[in-house]
């Protein structure tokens, strides 16, 4: 008996987004990164419908982290004070295709650094590496509006992915990202209705839908990954069925969320296996799981986890 | 919802006048405004006034495509007029051939001709197929569904993707004597048509025809459209300038879980 053809087909597709601007395009990047383009679910349809390979954005913090576990500190111990060297290491040693500069240090409850600091970090990282950048604020609305608008200006023309904007705080950063020719991250708290709403609000300001990447919020393995998975999946299905307000590529924050899990970092847990392998495995498992729901960019931290996930991506998205 | 905008039609006086005067501006403005209002396709109908229908169709197509890349829906009862439009069209973004019956007394092969024209126009070309055959427009549910089934199976036989077919169950004016049973019949037929293929064929209607000659036209159109969307209607030829109507589309699609809810759900078509 012949095997019946059961592949579903869809009318829509995920938008293609190309991050980074080369010299010819008015920036200073040596290469660009294109994500999106899927015309079917992961593992579904023909090979021609898989779209671009998902990419990993490796996290670089603007200020030395004070709450990272030893296992995560170890690979970066000589560069934690220098975002530029840190970024360089990620690109040159660990093969990062994208760098995500996370401005934790500007948060009023943390180091409370000012915009001058953030601009300097941006300039240094832009100089140190040639890959496209993701520039991500601290999550405090007031501080982000003050600092990230300056960061945007410092990277003007580089076609960075900048964020994030939310339903309650989107106007300043959207306006400046539009002016500085960047791409924008729209964020929602694991709520598909709000996710769509932010996109509509941003589009209402004249920001092109084709320059948006969505962030639905992420839950790590054991900490709400099923919610994140189902939201990502719903977004992907909406994109495939032609909903233009949901047709953006998606970004996940796997690094931060995975390393919050006690399973990833608790040293004194003999029954759980060696902590050195456990943390990276937790991060990799979270990433691999979410990749199957249909995400395009994953923020990650541990080089071992990055290598594992890259291997997975190369096998599933064979070019 | 695939909205096909109805205003570029020689039956409207300003379009008729524009055709007579070869006034491009009127046509191009209509094309832009309808696109801005959410049209996925622009219907193009030369009307009955123009002596040279083929030439007029070509002029309209060229005029619209000079300034607007929204795909067109070439609307004529005469295949030669549609063929004339296809000669000059850029169908890269798609085109709909509007429309063909299953067959006609005078032309048994008319459907096949449309399939051939669509295939020649490119992979994104679709056809509106009427649930109508050589015996005319069926009055009952079963014959309507049977004709639709024949259309879908004929398309499949010819290797023409049923997703490129828009079944039009032909909506008649509700005010015509004895026609009041028809809207209900059409809805019942739609219930069955959507199971003819997987994924289902598109279904479309010329909505404004329903309220022809009646009072409260917009209200009649809106209510019927809401019910029809619940039965699987996914396209309609409409007046996209009727904001109340477009709001009904957005709301009905949201309630049917075809569109994800957001607080600004009414803005999805603009």
Phi, psi of A303 (to 5 degrees): -60, -35
pLDDT at B84 over 90: yes
**Of residues A8, A199, A243, nearest to B259 (C-beta):** A243
Q: In which order are the strands placed within the sheet that holds B41-44?
A: B202-203, B165-168, B125-130, B95-100, B72-75, B41-44, B2-5, B235-238
**Of residues B199, B260, B268, nearest to A192 (C-beta):** B260
Residues in B closer than 8 angstroms to A200, CB to CB, are 262, 264, 267-268
**Do B261 and A200 count as a contact with CB atoms less than 8 A apart?**
no
- Ranges of beta strands (E only) in B92-234 are 95-100, 125-130, 165-168, 202-203
Helices and strands (DSSP H and E) totals, chain B: 9, 8
CATH tag, B2-269? 3.20.20.20
* The model's pTM: 0.87
Biggest CA–CA distance in chain B, Å, is 53
The per-residue pLDDT for range B171-222, each reduced to its tens digit, is: 999 998 888 999 999 999 999 999 998 888 999 999 999 999 999 999 999 9
pLDDT at A274 over 80: yes
Give the mean pLDDT of B86-99. Answer: 95
Report all structural domains of chain A as residue ranges with CATH numbers, in order of start.
17-316 (3.20.20.20)
> Is residue B151 a contact partner of residue B103, using CB atoms and an 8 Å limit?
no
Alpha-carbon gap, residue B210 to B221, rounded angstroms: 7
Taking Cα atoms as reference points, which of B34, B38, B48, B36 lies closest to residue B6?
Answer: B34
Closest-CA residue of chain B to A241: B258
- pLDDT at position A4 is 67
- pLDDT at position A6 is 67
Eight-state DSSP code of residue A205:
T
Residues in B closer than 8 angstroms to A241, CB to CB, are 258
pLDDT band for position B50 (cuts 50, 70, 90): confident
- Residue located via tokens 């106007």: A171
Residues in B closer than 8 angstroms to A246, CB to CB, are 260
The per-residue pLDDT for range A222-234, each reduced to its tens digit, is: 999 999 999 999 9
Which residues have CB under 8 Å from B247's CB, separation 6+?
Answer: B266
**Do A194 and B262 count as a contact with CB atoms less than 8 A apart?**
yes
> Is residue A282 a contact partner of residue A220, using CB atoms and an 8 Å limit?
yes
Does an H or E element contain B43, and which? strand B41-44
The per-residue pLDDT for range B106-123, each reduced to its tens digit, is: 888 999 999 999 999 999
């Amino acid at each position: 008996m012949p095997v019946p053809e059961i592949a579903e087909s869809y009318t829509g597709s995920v938008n293609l987004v190309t991050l980074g601007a080369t010299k010819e395009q008015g920036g200073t990047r040596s290469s660009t990164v294109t994500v999106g383009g899927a015309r079917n679910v992961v593992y579904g349809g023909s090979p021609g419908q898989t779209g671009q390979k998902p990419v990993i954005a490796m996290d670089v913090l603007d200020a030395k982290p004070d709450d990272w576990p030893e296992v995560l500190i170890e690979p970066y111990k000589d560069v934690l004070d220098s975002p530029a060297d840190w970024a360089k290491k990620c690109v040159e040693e660990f093969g990062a295709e994208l760098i995500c500069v996370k401005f934790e240090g500007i948060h009023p409850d943390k180091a409370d650094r000012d915009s001058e600091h953030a601009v300097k970090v941006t300039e240094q990282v832009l100089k140190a590496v040639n890959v496209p950048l993701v520039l991500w604020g601290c999550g405090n609305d007031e501080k982000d509006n003050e600092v990230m608008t300056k960061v945007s200006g410092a990277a003007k023309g580089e076609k960075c992915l900048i964020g994030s904007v939310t339903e309650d705080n989107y106007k300043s950063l959207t306006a400046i990202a539009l002016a500085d020719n960047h791409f924008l991250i729209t964020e929602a708290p694991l709520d598909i209705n709000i996710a769509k709403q932010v996109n509509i609000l941003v589009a209402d300001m004249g920001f092109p839908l084709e320059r948006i990447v969505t962030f639905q919020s992420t839950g790590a393995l054991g900490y709400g990954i099923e919610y994140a998975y189902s939201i990502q999946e719903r977004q992907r299905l909406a994109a495939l069925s032609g909903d233009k307000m949901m047709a953006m590529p998606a970004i996940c924050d796997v690094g931060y969320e995975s390393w919050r899990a006690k399973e990833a970092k608790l040293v004194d847990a003999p029954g759980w296996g060696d902590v050195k392998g456990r943390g990276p495995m937790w991060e990799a498992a979270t990433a691999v799981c979410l990749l199957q729901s249909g995400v395009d960019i994953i923020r990650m931290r541990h080089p071992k986890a990055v290598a594992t996930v890259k291997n997975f991506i190369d096998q599933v998205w064979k070019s | 919802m695939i909205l096909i905008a109805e205003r570029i039609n020689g039956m409207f006086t300003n379009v008729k006048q524009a055709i007579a005067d070869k006034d491009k501006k009127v046509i191009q403005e209509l094309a832009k405004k309808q696109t801005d209002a959410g049209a996925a396709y622009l219907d193009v109908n030369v009307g009955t006034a123009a002596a040279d229908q083929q030439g007029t169709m070509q002029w309209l197509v060229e005029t619209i495509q000079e300034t607007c890349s929204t795909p067109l829906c070439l609307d004529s009862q005469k295949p030669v007029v549609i063929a004339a439009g296809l000669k000059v069209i850029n169908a890269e973004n798609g085109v709909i051939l509007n429309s063909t019956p299953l067959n006609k007394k005078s032309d048994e092969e008319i459907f096949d001709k449309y399939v051939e024209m669509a295939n020649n126009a490119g992979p994104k070309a679709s056809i509106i197929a009427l649930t109508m055959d050589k015996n005319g427009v069926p009055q009952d549910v079963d014959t309507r569904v049977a004709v639709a089934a024949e259309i879908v199976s004929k398309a499949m036989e010819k290797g023409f993707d049923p997703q490129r077919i828009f079944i039009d169950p032909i909506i008649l004016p509700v005010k015509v004597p004895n026609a009041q049973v028809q809207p209900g019949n059409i809805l019942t037929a739609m219930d069955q048509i959507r199971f003819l293929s997987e994924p289902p064929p598109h279904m479309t209607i010329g909505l404004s025809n329903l309220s022809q000659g009646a009072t409260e036209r917009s209200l009649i159109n809106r209510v019927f459209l809401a019910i029809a969307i619940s039965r699987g209607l996914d396209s309609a030829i409409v007046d996209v300038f009727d904001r109340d109507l477009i709001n009904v589309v957005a709301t009905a699609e949201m309630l049917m879980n075809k569109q994800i809810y957001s607080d600004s759900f009414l803005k999805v078509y603009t």
